[in-house]
Amino acid sequence: MSKNITVLILGEPVRGSLSTNTREMLGGGRELADKLNGRLALLLLGDKLELVAEEAIAYGTDDVYLAENPQLETYQADTYLQIIERAVKDMEPDILLMGQTSIGRDLAPRLAFRLGTGLCMDCVRLDIESISGIIRMTRPVYGCKALAVMKCKMKPQMASIRPGTMKSAELDRSRKGQVHALATDINMSQIRVKVMAKVEEQTDSVSLEDAKVIVCGGRGMGSSDSFSILEGLARLLGGAVGASRPPCDAGWMPSTRQIGLTGKIVSPNLYIAVAVSGSSQHMAGCAESHTIVAINKDPEANIFAMAHYGIVGDYREILPPFIRRTREILEGKGGSRCC
Amino acid sequence: MQIVVCIKQVLDPEMPYSAFKIDPDGKRAIPPQGTPPVISPYDENALEAALRVKDAHGATVIALSLGDRLACSVLRKSLAAGVDDLILIEDPATGGLDSFASASILAAAIRKIGGADVVFTGRQAADWDAGIAGCAIAEELKMPCITVARKVSVQNGMVRVERLLSDGFEVVEAPLPCVITVDSDIGELRPVTIQGLMSAKKKLVKSWKLFDLKLESPPPPRCELLELYIPKHKRVCEIISGENAEDAAVKLANRLFEESLL
Amino acid sequence: MLLELRDYMSDMKRCARCSLCKWPPLAQLKSWRFSNMCPSITRYNFHTYSGGGRMALGLALTEGRLEDITDELLNIVYRCTACGACDSSCKYNSELEVLWPIYSTRAYLAGMGYFLPEHSMIIDSLRKEDNIMMKPKTDRGKWAEGLKVKDLSRGEKAEVVYHAGCLYCYDPELSIIARETVTLLQKAGVDVGIRGSQESCCGSIAFQLGFQGEFIKFAESNIDDWNAAGVSSVVTSCACGFGIMKSVYPLLGKEMKFEVLHITQYLDRLIKEGKIKLDRSIKSRVTYHDPCNLGRKSEIYIPWKGIEKKVLGQFILREPEKVIYRGWNGVYEPPRDVIRSVPGIELVEMERIKEYSWCCGAGAGVKQCLDDFALWTASERIAEAKSVGAEAIVTACPWCERNFKDAIAASGDDISVYDVVELLRQAM
Amino acid sequence: MGLSRDVYRLFESVVGPENISDNPAILRSYMYQPFGCRKGVWADISPAVVIMPSSTEEVVAIARICNRHHIVFKAMSTGWGMHNMPGVEGAVSLDLRRMNRILEIDGKNMFAVVEPYVICAQLQVEAMKKGLNCHIIGAGSNTSVLASATSVAGYGPDGLSMGYSGRNLLGVEWVLPTGEVLKLGSLSTGSGWFCGDGPGPSLRGIMRGWEGAWGGLGVFTKCAVKLYAWNGPPELEMKRVLPNYVLKEPIKYYKSSLFSFPTLEKLAEAALKLGEAEIGYFISRLSPSFVGMQMSAGPDYVNTWNTGMLQEMLKYAFLFVIFASSEREFEYQQKVLAAIIEETGGQVSPVSETQEMQEQTSTAVIKVDAVLRSCFRTTGGFNTSFGAMDTVDLALNQIRVGTELKDKYIRKGALMDDGADNSATLVFDQGHLAYTEMLIMYDHHDDESVEGAFQYLAEANQACLDKKLGPPIFQISQVGKGKHGAFGPACFNYDMWLRKIKSAFDPNNTADPTAYSPPEE
């Protein structure tokens, strides 16, 4: 029996709150639901989720479905799949969204398989045809060299959403919504993969995927020590430092910091590319960033074709004053905008 | 132990922009002259993962590739690297399949060769970047699936895998048989030698059609491709200049602040 | 893209099958013994191995008349040093493009994933280590260790960047010449720098093997680097690199804010400006071997694009007018002038010189992949040098020098091989 | 239709694996034959295999295998033209490229012994070093000396002083279709190469007759050709003057002049007289377009043509070259020339004396190195019609008929407009004979042009019959089977004799008859 849910979002609680990506999906999901004047629902798995549920409603969902069980505290595919599959079959939503996150990546394909529906991974934009209710799902392919627009031929239309590509809804505590509890009985026999341990890698800066600001150095940096200036800027902006392939090949930076086709794929709010030529291999990892700033000696460098703002010159001469000025601004918070 | 690695032939993801062209009507990328296709990079990592297991415990490693007009000299690299057998599923009908359809064909092939203790695939293919096939193969074969592996070890009927997470990794264990999708962190495919390539050239490569897998036609696609296009970077880069480097730098900072990007 | 087989349909369809591509321009044919021009057809004999035969092959492929790509086909395609002799000879009469269809045929096959295993090794090495020698990138700077020379990749500035090229960087026997070259330039007061371990391959071999995707990446990043370094000239002693920088780099549509010079051109200037003094006399009768890539293949080439109009009934008129690049404008005199400027040296010419010079045999990956063919081709040239009584072959490309040295080592011929620079050093 | 592996291995054992192939890539490139192709560039019939023998013994072995297994074979030297291709399925193609030696240059007796793949340019440079020169056919010095001498036509403009290839032929080594080796002339009696007509059998008429057997009577593996005195320097140094390589230093006692005449008849009269006067090194009728294309290409040529200057200046013109051995002879020849030109109302063309003219014609005249330019370069499609090595009168008649007929097709737009009368022609063999052929240029990739060109050729061939102009050289080889039959009745049933010869020399009909004649039924 359908609960006439139009859009169902699989949320991710992190430390007693909604993940940024979940909030973004709520924003995007709301729009879809409204266009189809239907209901937006959020599905959360974990333990002790009342507060998160309230937050979700404040971010604009109509219903929250909670699967609460200590066993669900940490993600485990086999358990999560059982519960989500059951819930989705039960709600029969038209649209099912989840994040392009470690969980989403792991879960979505198998869920789609079991639901017998299609799936569009890593979407950067959804457009809805309000009459048919069909969503045109746009996703980068061929390492961001091309965009593909797809539609799902079955229901629910399923997509995973790249973090940072949807606009989060405003928090509004006055919003109303219903919280429903889901049965959480788990068939242990289906659990084959066991999580033995979880290791958080301590990086002094923010992880590349979550960073809102990324400062990236390229071949033109010349040496590993020259990256320290980028670290400084990143710290100042509360961002992370990345690198294109040459610095990693040359051993100036660890390969875990590599952004590009064979490294991390990121889409921060601000991407500052320093002495990066902008090869296709690199741009595959950052082309979807909201704003790209390029600093490069060579005006011909491809990076300028992809950047929003650029300075032609030697980073050694440009970064120090840039950092100084940025610090002023951040401290005075615009006190000196008029200069 | 029998290990299967699914390797996909893709257009070289590192081809220069100027080489990348699309046939909008055919909704497909046009293979460029002068840039050979390659084994999808993550699939090369998958090959390496498999070969390491072979090194440690001894195993037959079979590489499996699906597609239309496959380039032997490209895929033979897997043999040169130490794979024991290369099987191609070449069929005109396999053009433009979706991940689920490909998965079911690959699964059928794996059944035909008598199953596998471990199936390795790349975390995603460098052309469509979906990252679905691996998981779908697992579902088809009713096997457990571990994605985005950065380290794999097999001992007494179990695999122990380090799964990459955004903020670190987790260690998971699963019984064999299972499917593992591999990340680049696991390491590059070992370098192949010219001798390796030469002997690979002599090896017989099996080639199957759908018919050989007792499939009349591939399963219908679950998604439909509506459009494929190269985004026009209408982006006109705003070049910030000034009397000197410092001046320009300051202007840039201000500009970013105005756009509330700081 | 630069290499599209279809672009050369009209050339391939209009080959007269006259065989001029097999000979030097007939007016320049000087003896029966050295009357061959194309190493490939001379060694393998089937018409297919000639310029015309290769055009027929390219046409058959584009017209779908050759379905299965056999190993023998690949052997035919790559048993060719892409020396361009056929092209010069043809253009003397028929004015067809022959060399670029040969490149394009390779690009066409490579695009479908057909190439020799050896080629995949070379290309992998390029992708991973930025060189075609299958050596680690980190060792690229080793040749210059201990030299007091600016390293532009470390942000130092210089007027001139010296591009050593893969072979000079990694061939221990030859890299001495690169060192000598740098000191020579410094002695002459040239403000010269290098790019150390950050120097990367010119992409020439990749291009000539048809891997134009790989080539474009290297060409573009080299241009970027040199532009960024703000040098006024790029000087190289590798003819193979010089040829590609001169004739193909400009086709990428990137601004090149520097002049590309071969070391012999630069030395020629310095000598004529009196900046290099040659006082020690060398009593020797030498001959000069024109490297294909310094000679006919360094000529600027702009592929013709336009329409074929019919006038006078069936006369095919190309609009805009097609410029014919006959290879007459290669770098021929500077190296000769440099040699002549050495006191005591007697320079004698061989029969096949300049635009109709016989290839050394090393070009386009043949040295790496089909050494027997490379050595055979060299031995033909050595015989020619000896026939004019030369005691030494002087050349201006490491590939030619390497290949001649190997061929002489194999045959035990008594004739020596020098690079122009080695000659100068002895004379100083 | 391929060969059985066993037969393939038999051939392989003769020449070695390196010198035999039936790989499609190899065969395809041999099938590329624009000259004589009906349309486009590809032969319809692929050879089953290409074999490259290196000696007479190997040719014999191959011929024997062919006879034993009833396989047709066809040999080529430089392989230029469709007539080099087997005209039947499953045939063996012999590429004689590896038989490329100049075996001997006998300075004293003035002859050279060559193998099939020696080209004129090679023989000439080696001969010149010994103060000798050789006849080069009009098609160019990139062609085989032996092929022209033994098997195909063989006219060239220097024939005025050096005869024609058939005439220059001395001793011959001939591998008959059956595989037997036959030696002709003095060679057969072990007395050397110096004579083609004995002591010993001549058979010159049977072997090549008027225009050659085009490979239909087996393989000629060696032959001696007559050489002539060369009074120039032993090596000709060249310099570059676009678009040509030209002589660095002018040669002594050498002068080329361009004469034009009021009518074709006057031109012919002058040529005949010059021949009879036995002066001159080289004479060639030069059509306006032929000359124009030697000098320029593309828009330059078209613009010059459109001025009408070429047509005006060269309507009835020939290039005449004097090359004397002494001052006295040089003067003598000039005097005779002047007198004859005057008698026949000839005009010295204004460009004739210019240094450019002297330079630009020098290599073309001596080395015959740039014919391509005027024939294949502009349209790719080239063919020749009519064609005789006969009397001056016949040549004139062919030109008259040909010009008229050709003009019709030019006006249709099917052929390139070269002013219709584009005939390479004139007296040779000291004026005893005159040569002509009517050139046409068309686009072999353009259906209408091809259609028109071949209609023209058909009409031209018919005209040869109707107007009694003799069998057209080159056409027979192209039209193939039965073609001689068509002309025989008009020419003393010579075709009967060809069939008899074929049957006698080739009982198993293993030498491809396509370009020659089928055996007697």
Q: How high is the pLDDT of residue A203?
A: 59
Q: Are D433 and D155 in contact (CB under 8 A)?
A: no
Phi, psi of D479 (to 5 degrees): -75, -25
Cβ within 8 Å of D, C 47-106: 47-48, 52-57, 59-60, 65-66, 68, 70, 72-73, 76, 92-95
Tens of pLDDT, residue by residue over D379-401, are: 999 999 999 889 999 999 999 99
With CB atoms and an 8 Å threshold, state whether C155 touches A222: yes
pLDDT > 90: what percent of chain D? 80
Sign of the Cα pseudo-torsion (D335, D338, D341, D344, in order): negative
Give the alpha-carbon dihedral of D272, D277, D282, D284, to 10 degrees: -10
Q: Are C39 and C381 in contact (CB under 8 A)?
A: no
Tens of pLDDT, residue by residue over D169-198, are: 999 999 999 999 999 999 999 999 999 988
Q: Is residue B157 part of a domain?
A: yes
Average pLDDT over chain C reads: 96
With CB atoms and an 8 Å threshold, state whether A300 touches C254: yes
Q: Are C76 and C105 in contact (CB under 8 A)?
A: no
Tens of pLDDT, residue by residue over D35-62, are: 989 899 999 999 999 999 999 999 999 9
pLDDT band at C153 (very low <50, low <70, confident <90, very high): confident
The reply to whether D448 and D508 lie within a common domain is no
Burial C277-295 (b: 16+ CB within 10 A, else e): ebeeebebebbbbbbbbbb
**Which pairs from D407-413 meet CB under 8 Å and 24+ separation?**
D408/D456, D409/D440, D409/D452, D409/D453, D409/D455, D409/D456, D410/C313, D412/D452, D413/C313, D413/C314, D413/D448, D413/D452
Task: Please state whether at least 3 CB pairs lie below 8 Å between chains C and A.
Answer: yes
Question: How many pairs of residues across C and D have Cβ atoms under 8 Å apart?
Answer: 190
Contacts of B169 in chain A (CB under 8 A): 198-199, 201
Neighbouring residues of D286: CB distance < 8 A, sequence distance ≥ 6: D258, D314, D317, D318, D319
> Running DSSP on this structure, what letter comes out for residue B126?
T
Separation CA D118–CA A278 (nearest Å): 58
Map residue A13 onto helix, strand or coil: strand
Q: Please report how the helices A102-115 and B99-112 are oriented relative to each other, as an axis angle in degrees rounded to 10.
A: 80
Contacts of A261 in chain B (CB under 8 A): 13-14, 41, 126
Helices (H), chain B: 41-57, 72-81, 99-112, 133-140, 194-202, 245-258
Q: Is residue B220 part of a domain?
A: no
Tens of pLDDT, residue by residue over C315-360, are: 999 999 999 999 999 999 999 999 999 999 999 999 999 999 999 9
Asked if residue D355 has pLDDT above 90, the reply is no
CATH number at residue D66: 3.30.43.10
The arrangement of strands across the sheet holding D423-428 comes to D381-390, D433-442, D423-428
The reply to whether B36 and B85 lie within a common domain is yes
Among candidates D305, D271, D274, which has minimal Cα distance to D288?
Answer: D305
pLDDT band at A335 (very low <50, low <70, confident <90, very high): very low
With CB atoms and an 8 Å threshold, state whether C314 touches D141: no
Residue B93, chain C, CB below 8 Å: the answer is no
Q: How far is B21 from chain C (nearest CA, A)?
A: 10
Class of the CATH domain delimited by A5-190: alpha beta
CATH T-level topology, domain A213-332 = Rossmann fold (3.40.50)
Q: How far is CA D403 from CA D128, D420, D437, D461, in A?
A: 39, 5, 11, 14
Q: Which domain holds residue D404?
A: 253-466
Q: Is residue B28 part of a domain?
A: yes
Q: How far is C213 from chain B (nearest CA, A)?
A: 5
DSSP calls for D158-192: THHHH--HHHHEEEEEEE-TTS-EEEEGGGGGTS-
Mean of pLDDT values over A117-130: 92
Q: Is residue D410 part of a domain?
A: yes
The reply to whether B177 and B236 lie within a common domain is no
With CB atoms and an 8 Å threshold, state whether C227 touches A277: no
Question: Quick check: do A5-190 and A213-332 share a fold?
Answer: yes
Q: How many domains does chain D have?
A: 4
Q: Chain centroid to CA D249: how far?
A: 29
Partnered with residue A264 across adjacent β-strands are A259
Average pLDDT over chain D reads: 93
The reply to whether D88 and D35 lie within a common domain is yes
Mean of pLDDT values over A272-283: 87
Asked if residue A202 has pLDDT above 70, the reply is no
Q: How many domains does chain B have?
A: 2
Separation CA D498–CA D377 (nearest Å): 36
Give the alpha-carbon dihedral of D298, D300, D301, D306, to 10 degrees: 120
Asked if residue A337 has pLDDT above 60, the reply is no
With CB atoms and an 8 Å threshold, state whether B16 touches C217: yes
Q: Is residue B52 part of a domain?
A: yes
> Running DSSP on this structure, what letter comes out for residue D427?
E
First and final CA of chain D: distance in angstroms?
26
Which among A116, A145, A150 has the least Cβ separation from residue B226? A150
Asked if residue A2 has pLDDT above 80, the reply is no
With CB atoms and an 8 Å threshold, state whether C72 touches D42: no
Q: How high is the pLDDT of residue C198?
A: 87
Please report all neighbours of C, defined by 3+ CB atom pairs within 8 A. A, B, D
Quick one: A200 exposed, middle or buried, by C-beta within 10 A (0-12, 13-18, 19+)?
Answer: exposed
The residue among D15, D23, D29, D145 with the most chain C CBs within 10 A of its CB, best to mutate, is D29
Q: Which two tokens stand for residue D96?
A: 């004689």
Q: Which two tokens stand for residue A55?
A: 């937050």
Helix (H) / strand (E) element for C274: namely none
Which among D98, D238, D376 has the least Cβ separation from residue C18? D376
Among candidates A250, A120, D381, A157, which has minimal Cα distance to B129?
Answer: A120
Neighbouring residues of D353: CB distance < 8 A, sequence distance ≥ 6: D257
Cβ within 8 Å of B, A 111-170: 112-114, 116-122, 136, 139-143, 145-154
Burial D454-486 (b: 16+ CB within 10 A, else e): eebbebbbebbbeeebbbbbbbbbbbbeebbeb
Tens of pLDDT, residue by residue over C229-274, are: 899 999 999 999 999 999 999 999 989 999 999 999 999 999 999 9
The reply to whether D382 and D275 lie within a common domain is yes
Strands C192-194 and C150-151: parallel
Among candidates C205, C169, C225, which has minimal Cα distance to A246?
Answer: C225
Q: Are D196 and D185 in contact (CB under 8 A)?
A: yes
With CB atoms and an 8 Å threshold, state whether A298 touches C217: no
Residue B29, chain C, CB below 8 Å: the answer is no
With CB atoms and an 8 Å threshold, state whether A269 touches B223: no
Q: How high is the pLDDT of residue C360?
A: 98
Task: Going residue by residue through chain B, which has 262 residues, state the pLDDT in tens, using 9 for 90 and above.
Answer: 999 999 999 999 888 888 899 999 989 999 999 999 999 999 999 999 999 999 999 999 999 999 988 898 899 999 999 999 999 999 888 877 899 999 999 999 999 999 999 999 999 999 998 999 999 999 999 999 999 999 999 988 999 999 988 778 899 999 999 999 999 889 999 999 999 999 998 999 999 999 999 988 888 999 999 999 998 766 678 888 888 888 999 999 888 888 878 7
Residue C124, chain B, CB below 8 Å: the answer is yes
Q: How far is B112 from chain A (nearest CA, A)?
A: 22
Q: Which two tokens stand for residue D201?
A: 């059998």
Q: Which two tokens stand for residue C189?
A: 């007061």
The reply to whether D210 and D324 lie within a common domain is no
Q: Is residue D236 part of a domain?
A: no
Quick one: A185 exposed, middle or buried, by C-beta within 10 A (0-12, 13-18, 19+)?
Answer: exposed
Q: Are A165 and A126 in contact (CB under 8 A)?
A: no
Question: How many pairs of residues across A and B have Cβ atoms under 8 Å apart?
Answer: 254
Q: Is residue B100 part of a domain?
A: yes
Tens of pLDDT, residue by residue over C13-54, are: 999 999 999 999 999 999 999 999 999 999 999 999 999 999
Cβ within 8 Å of D, C 358-397: none
Phi, psi of A241 (to 5 degrees): -105, 135
Q: Is residue B221 part of a domain?
A: no
Q: How far is C326 from chain B (nearest CA, A)?
A: 25
Residue B174, chain C, CB below 8 Å: the answer is no
Mean of pLDDT values over C392-412: 97
Q: How high is the pLDDT of residue D211?
A: 85
Among candidates D282, D283, D299, D301, which has minimal Cα distance to D291?
Answer: D301
Q: Is residue D472 part of a domain?
A: no
Q: Is residue B219 part of a domain?
A: no
AA letter at A72: L
| Side-chain half-sphere CA neighbours of D325 within 13 A | 8
AA letter at B4: V
Nearest CA in chain C to D41: C13
Which among B127, B170, B249 has the least Cβ separation from residue A142? B127
Q: Where are the beta strands (DSSP E) in C63-220?
A: 150-151, 160-163, 192-194
Residue C136, chain B, CB below 8 Å: the answer is no
Peptide bond into D199 cis (omega under 30): yes
Q: Chain centroid to CA D81: how far?
A: 11
Residue C32, chain D, CB below 8 Å: the answer is yes
Task: For the domain covering C134-272, report its CATH number.
Answer: 3.40.50
Partnered with residue A301 across adjacent β-strands are none
Mean of pLDDT values over A113-141: 93
CATH number at residue D257: 3.40.462.10
Task: Please state whether at least 3 CB pairs lie below 8 Å between chains D and A.
Answer: no
Q: Is residue B225 part of a domain?
A: no
Tens of pLDDT, residue by residue over D306-326, are: 999 999 888 899 999 999 999
CATH number at residue B192: 3.40.50.620
CATH number at residue D110: 3.30.465.10
Q: How high is the pLDDT of residue B241?
A: 86
Separation CA D477–CA D84 (nearest Å): 10
Please report all neighbours of B, defined by 3+ CB atom pairs within 8 A. A, C
AA letter at C38: C
Neighbouring residues of A144: CB distance < 8 A, sequence distance ≥ 6: A283, A284, A285, A287, A288
With CB atoms and an 8 Å threshold, state whether C18 touches D80: yes
Contacts of C94 in chain D (CB under 8 A): 372-373, 376-377
The reply to whether B172 and B58 lie within a common domain is yes
pLDDT band at D455 (very low <50, low <70, confident <90, very high): very high
The reply to whether B69 and B127 lie within a common domain is yes
The domain limits of chain A are 5-190, 213-332
Tens of pLDDT, residue by residue over C201-230, are: 999 999 999 999 999 999 998 998 898 889
Asked if residue D200 has pLDDT above 90, the reply is no
Separation CA D101–CA B59 (nearest Å): 61
Instruction: Read off the pTM.
Output: 0.92
Q: Which domain holds residue B131?
A: 2-213
The reply to whether D215 and D145 lie within a common domain is yes
Scanning the structure block, which residue is given the tokens 């690229």?
Answer: C140
Q: How high is the pLDDT of residue A1?
A: 36
